[in-house]
Structure 1
Amino acid sequence: MIRVVLADDEQLTRQAVASLLGLESDLEVVADVDDGAKALMAIAEHKPDVVVLDVEMPAMDGLRVLEMIDTRAIMLTRHARPGVLRQALSLGAKGFLAKTAPAALLADVIRRVHAGMRYVDPEFAAEALAENPCPLTERELEVLRMVDDSRTAPDIAKALNLSAGTVRNYVSSAMTKLGARSRAQAARMARDNGWI
């Protein structure tokens, strides 16, 4: 039996997938949970062969969970952004597919990943390959990594050992290159593209 932990915040989706996987003679869903923190606890408790993680979950998303485990993982998503695919693969995901995929495909991907292979939804892969490269400098990316609602330019400057004016210049440059209207939008765009 291939032991599986399933983590998805959408209860109906999670329970349906767990039920459908439960019909497979060689798969056993040992836990299904609704957020990343619970996924970590279920992984520690059940020691599954494969973890199926929703990319977007409250409290802790699938990418954060992926950073903290060494279990083979498959990422599920409704809206794959090329950067998220690249980030998931760089963090060690072995599978990446749409939530709209048939249950039989997910079961097959679980078997493949368990056997040491990889699977990436062909549409997601094509989009990632067609995406434009990152136009930002390393320093602009470093500054955008620090941008959130709680940090001011002086806070970021202090953390990066820069002046507040220099931080504002990097943010302004990044906003211009990305066509963003705010520093928060620029940071979100960089995250969505997997650049930070």
Structure 2
Amino acid sequence: MSMRIGYGFDSHAFKPGVPLIIGGLPIEHPEGLAGHSDGDVLLHAITDALLGAVSAGDIGTFFPPNDPRWKGAASKVFLETALEEVATAGYKIVNVDTVLVLAKPKIVPIAGELRERVAELLGVKPGEVGIKAKTPEGLNQDGVAVAHATVLLESVKLVDAPARMVAAAEVEDEIDKVVKGLVGDAHDISALGRKRPPFDTDDIT
């Protein structure tokens, strides 16, 4: 079994007039997060962590910010692509840990709901997702939301491999029997309606 660790980071400035979505969860707040997509800073960080863990690039590799197709797109689309890359590489999520850094809104009152939503999007249990929040004291970034994410992956076991090996061995045995029957053994051709000619001692030249 092999393990992989991925780290992701993202930040977006607050902007009036747009909805605030964090971790795929709509949150009541006067301002949302500016971005080419829906500005979901948490899902962006998790997406980058997943892609980085399997060396698949970053979110910009798959969804360039200058591509109009992704204008206002839901960030769960980005996350689903990262999950596909993880599965293709032969891994699955063990756990995810995140830190949100923002002055407001307060995350603690909705941390449980946020954890459940992120777990649902990732296809894991809520207990496998960590959601923490810090205020940006002394950082002079009250108008910005920052997210850090770390993921741990493990390789997927091929539980049916022994069964496939047994089946392959059985097929090989059958092939061996057929081959021996064709070239390795004496045949009785009487069943085919033919008879062996008798040996004529007078026909010796």
TM-score range, shorter chain: under 0.3
Greater fraction of residues in strand: 2
Larger C-alpha radius of gyration, 1 or 2? 2
- Structure 2 length-normalised TM: 0.24
Greater RCO (CA < 8 Å, at least 6 residues apart): 2
Greater fraction of residues in helix: 1
- Structure 1 length-normalised TM: 0.25
